Structure 1
Amino acid sequence: MDHGEVAGTAASGNNSAIDAANAQTGEVRSVFGCIGIRLRLVALIAVAILPLTLLMVNDIRSDFRNEIASTQARVQAAAELAASRHTRSFLEARIFLEALKNAPATLLAGGEECSATLVRFRENNPQFNSIGVVDRNETLVCHSSLSTPRRYANSVVFGRVASSADDAFVVGDFIFGRATGRPTLSMAMAAGEAGSSGMVFVGYDLENLLLSAEPGGLETGTVVSMLDRRSGRFITGDGNGGVRLTDPMPDHPLTVAIGNGRRGVTEVAGLDGVDRIYGYAPLAVTEAAGFVITVGVARTQALAHVYDDSLRAMATVLGVTLLTCLATWWLGAWTHLRPLGKLGEMAKRLGGGDLDARVAIDSWQAPEFRSLARKLNRMAERLDESRRAEQASAERDAIYKLLADNTVDVVARLDTVGMLTFVSPAALDVLGHRPEDLVGSAAEAISVVEDHGIVESLIANLQSGEAMSDIRFRARRPKGSEVWIEVSARPLEGGGGVLVMRDITRRKIIEEELKEANARLEILAFNDALTGLTNRGAFDERFEAEFGRAVREKTDLGLILFDIDRFKNYNDTYGHPAGDECLRLVADVLKQCLRRPGDVGARYGGEEFIAILPNTSAEGVLDRAESIRQAIRSMGLRHTGSEFGIVTASLGVATIPAGAGYRNATDMLKAVDRALYGAKSAGRDAVRAASDDPSPAASHCV
């Protein structure tokens, strides 16, 4: 076969393929050719209405998202409010226990008087299931509901109290009280020193505690629960106006979602298996750090009205579409084809980005078409407004970026959940991080771990719409160094906020140096420069306060006044530098003899020293004075100008037993001065005590 024959065969094959394609196209056209004008108009109507339908679907999705966000905010706020109420309840229980533990020991020892008192307390405090006193042998000696002593059943709480500090506030586990049979949370404090004198306790009514914190304004069926993260147990409403206590549930989705107990929101299956939107918040008091309040709303209930609105909206769209199609079917081409053509053209132009397009329908045309035209025009106007707003926003963003790029302060933007969405270039100089490394991370990542709470509080205030300034925390740079940051924050419309951060490390150093200088000045103002003891002015203020407290509280108070015997001769013999050294040595002796934190020693003037001994009996004050006298003599400091050959001291003592004995502090000072004079008159190197008799003869020598 030659080349001509091959070419002819190939051309024939190509022509056959083209003919087949043309035949298929003809068949398709034939099918469309069978469709009447009314069906074509219906199809055109459907195409015109489709963009509106898509917009409505998008609005419905937005409604769902907004409702979920609103519900999350409401349950979070409700959880915060409930946690605040519970925190107040815990604090009220602590205040009650502190008052009870300080009751007279005879009352706390048990007996009918103790039981009657606790019954009255219980009647006046209905939030408590029970009130009781347990002695150090773990015996329940007094109870608001039990009349006979018995062994205290809650050994866990007793053990925690025994191993805690004296003023520790101990919170037990969720239990059902044996005496009351009601769900109870035991709270206790040591009576006296922890582990030696037993404890006082209250059993807090968990049903009262939980139901009193139910928030208002939420959907019916809202569930309030409390989690004890130590045991993994929940106390929650039982749906019948009561409460129930669960078994430990450490692996329950809600327990896992709460995690470390920080506040937040989550969507998990609840304790009853119903999917809920939960807000949770921890109790703020330190002793209740293991307790978390949860407030949950069923997801279906929260979104019920959105479902209803969506169904109505979709039904509306379908109804309009159906009516339009029926009208199109019956009215014919003349009354529909022209407006539909215009509407189709309008939709086409909008789809092509021509937001200036508008459509006009003759007034005699059907109202559905005019309404659809108005909707399309309104949609075009909204889209045009959105485009203009985006252009204006872009221009503003360009200006803000120019400012942010050229300021030495760090400018950052947060979204509604506290994530960084923008960080200015100054972050590299101030924080040591590139802006792109910080974007997408939580705001807490800027600060050191110890200051995360400050940043979390700042974000919470921003989310509540509050502007803040002069917030300070520490930030860690990549190489480990720390810088002090001062932050101003402003909330933004629609959520989130703007932070302006400034490096104040140098200012902080100057402030610390100024603080240290002020502290040194304060020491100089209240201390004697030579001996390091309290000076006369500070002593006078302290003595007035201690005297007043002893009188009010009817407690003992002792006062010791002494001076160095023949000190003028010592100065004349050895010189003033040696005299100053002698004063310092005597001051050291006084410091060593005042062993208790409440004792105060002071230089009263020249060679005179004075000491305040709160809560000290007359015998104790005399013993302390004699110890001071012997300690000074034991120094063996040579003094040729004294008849004793060494440095000695004469001491006067005055006391007020049970807050009585002198009219005022001045009278007590006069009495101790007379006692000192008596010790010197008796030959020096002696201790003399004054009675409440103001005469010079009313003293006796020890």
Structure 2
Amino acid sequence: MLASLVQCVGIRPRLLAVILVAVTPFVVLIALEIRSDFRETLAAARAEVRTAAELAVSNQSRAFLESRVFLETLQYTSATMLAGGPGCDPTQELLLEANPQFVRIGIVDQARTSICDRSTVASGLLGETVLFERMAEAGYDGFAVGDLTTGHAATRPTLTLAIRDSSNTGFVFVGYDLEYLLAIGDQDRLTAGATTSMLDSRSGRFVAVDKAGDVRLTDPVPGGALALAIGEGPRSGVADAVGLDGVERILGFAALPGSEGTGFIASVGVSKAETLAPVYARSMKAAATALLVCLLACLATWWLGTRTHVVPIVRLTRMAKRIGIGDLETRAEIAPWQAPEFRRLGTKHNMMTERLQAARAAEQAAAARDAIYRLLAENTADVVVRIDADGTCTFVSPAAREVLGTDPFDMLGSDPTTISIPEDRGVVEEMIATLRSGDRVSDVRFRVRHPVTAAKWVEVTARPLAGGGAVLVVRDITRRVTMEEELKVANRRLEVLAFEDALTGLTNRRAFDVRFDVEFKRAVRDKTDLSLIILDIDRFKNFNDTYGHPAGDECLRLVATAFRHSLNRPGDVGARYGGRSSPRSSPERPWRALPTGRRPSAPPSVC
């Protein structure tokens, strides 16, 4: 399935895939940088809030110490306040003006009765049962800290700190302004939107300063965010928690050291979203830049890949298709600025096309020649036979049906010697041997078997081929051979007629002259004797005139026969030297003269 899908992907998507693979490390690097920026920003924020929390705890611890010193000083030096009554109010005014961190200053006796309190009533303190319990547990020189509460004399959240008076019958207390207490940290070191808070782990109450600068005091919150973040862990650290306003913050917290601070934990928090906002902005910018770069790279790759890769490939593909449909006139045109690989490929395509074109032209010429040869071979009266190097027939023209009386296909794979009659097979074998030696043969005659005429005379002309084998042209010469035989007979008859006397059957005068010349020259050359006998018939004219020309002719034939029987040696020649072709006109037939008007009734038996 995957392989089939990959096969459908074109070159441009593949180039884009290559670009994406190439830019992936760049994108990964940006992602790692963004991740590192997030981590570094969070680490810096955590270090900042932790340092701020530790500094706030240090300042608040000093504030608690200063408050205890103030109470101890007030315990032993302010007789007016210890005496109580209306005279303590001016003293309180002076002390409050000198110590703006305090919202209340007072003295309460053992019966929880206010001796000197600006609020003029002790009911505001009498409700703090926990403070009296803690004072009782503190001992003679004990110092106790109440819970976080909203004072009755002022609506501001306060924290009551108390110490026994000098008579050990009551205690001196102050109400510390929580807003002032929370503001003594080094706010300048915090980023915008940072908040400070304090947790009383004993009561679970939580006081914090929000973004508007207002101090909020909550009732005990079971499982509060900061309490859960701190848990049973160290007394200082950093945690991520959701504040009272529902905002997720990075909180740095630290516990107040010393017995006076037992149970109080100061924290400084910054909004996690606001802290990471610049990182998000940088990340978005980097991501947008990376996306823009990738998009531009893809567009550039698409355009450049189309110009430098797709266009030449499409041209080469179109050329290949045109070649496939037989258009060998097409040529690949690759621009000079294209890659050398495409130019070389285009040049090879053009060379291949030219070769194919030349091959096609050669094939067409060869086909035309083959057509002509086949036309000639199939329509000529001669049989064209091709044999291979082993002497086996590989092609036989259709004329074999008429000349040899056999189907050409039946001769394929056969030996040419099988078509001849047994008496002439040696001639065929000698011809094949000559062809195998590389020599041509011509006018080789032999007889072949024929189903109708029993045998035919053929004449073969053959030439060997360069790659082995030979081409034979077999021609039917039966009629010509017959005519040659008849001509030979006719020539012999003409020769007889030319050198033989028609009446007597002896050699005529012409033949006698030729033979006499030959024999005379031989006798001269061999220095031998030559005998010549000349015979004449006496009174033949009289016989011919008496008995007639037929009887005279018969007489001449009888004399010639007797003369021919007397020739015993092969070299003896008898000729009729006198006379013409017609015996009737021959003046050399002597006949005895007979009286006029007298003719015998019949010629004698011997003239």
Larger Rg: 2
State the TM-score, normalized to the length of structure 1: 0.42
Higher relative contact order (CA 8 A, sep 6+): 2
